Chain A
């Protein structure tokens, strides 16, 4: 990042580096821009042009989006469900991840192996059994039903991340805590969790996005507006012989913009807590 390097090789390297970063940013921004532009285009514009500015800026797509689908209600449900899932998931899986990273007990390897199988089981295999479980728990068409399922769906990733995060924390830290007379639980919450903020934030992000974007279970496990989530609202705009792409992309924009804001603020929090130096030995 030192800009006054004289060495030409270093300069080339720096240039390449910036080029790479810029390329990544463009690649990441392109879909967003495309969706945003499309939310102002007419159906025929969307279907007959590539990258272009809309002929006119009007908000009819947004008005249609709000008229055709209960998107705001679904949005609120999504925020609540994804929020709770994120918190519960990260809390539970950091506990489990800690135990797997640090404790010895009989059958540990086998249990971990069994748990990680859940990462590769095909979704279609889950559909029928999960439907039956949720139904028999009287949780069909409730937010709690979705929260339960999403917490489980995001389990393998969070476990993986939290375990490897705790493995990366020097043992000396907790040993010192034990010497000071801290118990197991206190050591975990007061010493280990603050050190694992990076991992916590990452699994939180993943769990949030995982439940934010999930479609299949939201479809199968809900029937009314009280529990449905955002991805379902996007289906309102295309049917076999009828479509309203303008409204579809307006809906996608409505779904994306606030999440980016939340996301940016959330990350800022995490970064500042990280750089505050909680991890210094």
Chain B
């Protein structure tokens, strides 16, 4: 019995592990190893440079900016964005009228290609004819109109809006988890005299904790990989106001053809990912096996 079970465990894991070995292991090793090398597209050989990539990276003010931007975006995404998606899921799981419609519609922005989403927001924020400035002008706040994506003061929040509002993944995941919660638990809370809000807060949310933690991990890794929406809308500017680590990496990779330096940034991203996942797992107790 024990042996057959062990065999099945191996069989169940095998395809996943094989995929990992085939696609991810080598790149992971390359990223770590070449971050200690002077490795460029144009050079035929690599030379070992020790920590010099790390030293110049940590001394680069652009890196400081990109690093803090990335952290801020992760925080916003893990709290406000996930909170928004969860809130919608908590409203929808009670099957209010039209909940199926809302659930489907809210996923639509995730189906539209990022190239198109970027252009839509360029249009919304356009200083000459954009919707935002038009609205401001029509309500007599014309003096507030500005070039939102290109003003050093507003570029960061403006770019954030490009993805912030669309929490379709979170809603879908949390909602599916909420729908599979045993209804008798909710009934019991009602009988105990809990208001709907109390039921949501003290019965539902704790039950959804793991799934919410999962969506937080997803949100955080999404921000650690966020590239094209920023590149299309602001290109990381003005200055470095909206540059994050993937943009910085892309610059080193594509602009400078400096793969060693790019991979050094890659190592930082991977390490940040590990740290963020560890923190979320700790806070949300995702790894607890207790039900």
Q: Is residue B86 within 8 Å, beta carbon to beta carbon, of the partner chain?
A: no
Q: Which residue of A lies closest to B168 (CB)?
A: A28
Q: Is residue A176 within 8 Å, beta carbon to beta carbon, of the partner chain?
A: no
Q: Which of A119, A133, A161, A263 contacts B273 (CB 8 A)?
A: A119
Is the CB–CB distance between A202 and B23 below 8 Å? Answer: no
Contacts of B124 in A (CB 8 A): 50
Bin the interface of chain A by size.
35 or more
Q: Is residue A179 within 8 Å, beta carbon to beta carbon, of the partner chain?
A: no
Is the CB–CB distance between B113 and A184 below 8 Å? Answer: no
Q: Is residue B42 within 8 Å, beta carbon to beta carbon, of the partner chain?
A: no
Task: Give 11 pairs: A residue, B residue, CB < 8 Å, sorted on A.
Answer: A21-B96, A24-B106, A28-B105, A50-B131, A101-B289, A120-B225, A124-B249, A129-B30, A148-B23, A198-B179, A281-B182
Contacts of A191 in B (CB 8 A): none
Is the CB–CB distance between B263 and A21 below 8 Å? Answer: no
Given contacts A51-B131, A161-B173, A275-B179, contact A152 B117 (CB under 8 A): no
Given contacts A126-B23, A152-B23, A274-B176, contact A35 B250 (CB under 8 A): no
Q: Which of B92, B109, B126, B270 contacts A28 (CB 8 A)?
A: B109
Contacts of A27 in B (CB 8 A): 109, 165-166
Question: How does the 8 Å CB contact mask read for B211-241 relative to A, with 1 for contact and 0 for none?
Answer: 1011001100100110100000000000000
Contacts of A274 in B (CB 8 A): 176, 179-180
> B residues within 8 Å of A by Cβ?
4-6, 8-9, 12-13, 15-17, 19-20, 22-24, 26-28, 30-31, 84, 87-88, 91-92, 94-97, 100, 102-117, 120, 123-124, 126, 128-131, 134, 165-166, 168-169, 172-173, 176-177, 179-180, 182, 197, 210-211, 213-214, 217-218, 221, 224-225, 227, 246, 249-250, 253, 262-263, 265-266, 269-270, 272-274, 277, 286, 289, 291
Q: Is residue A267 within 8 Å, beta carbon to beta carbon, of the partner chain?
A: yes
Is the CB–CB distance between B20 and A31 below 8 Å? Answer: no
Is the CB–CB distance between B117 and A31 below 8 Å? Answer: yes
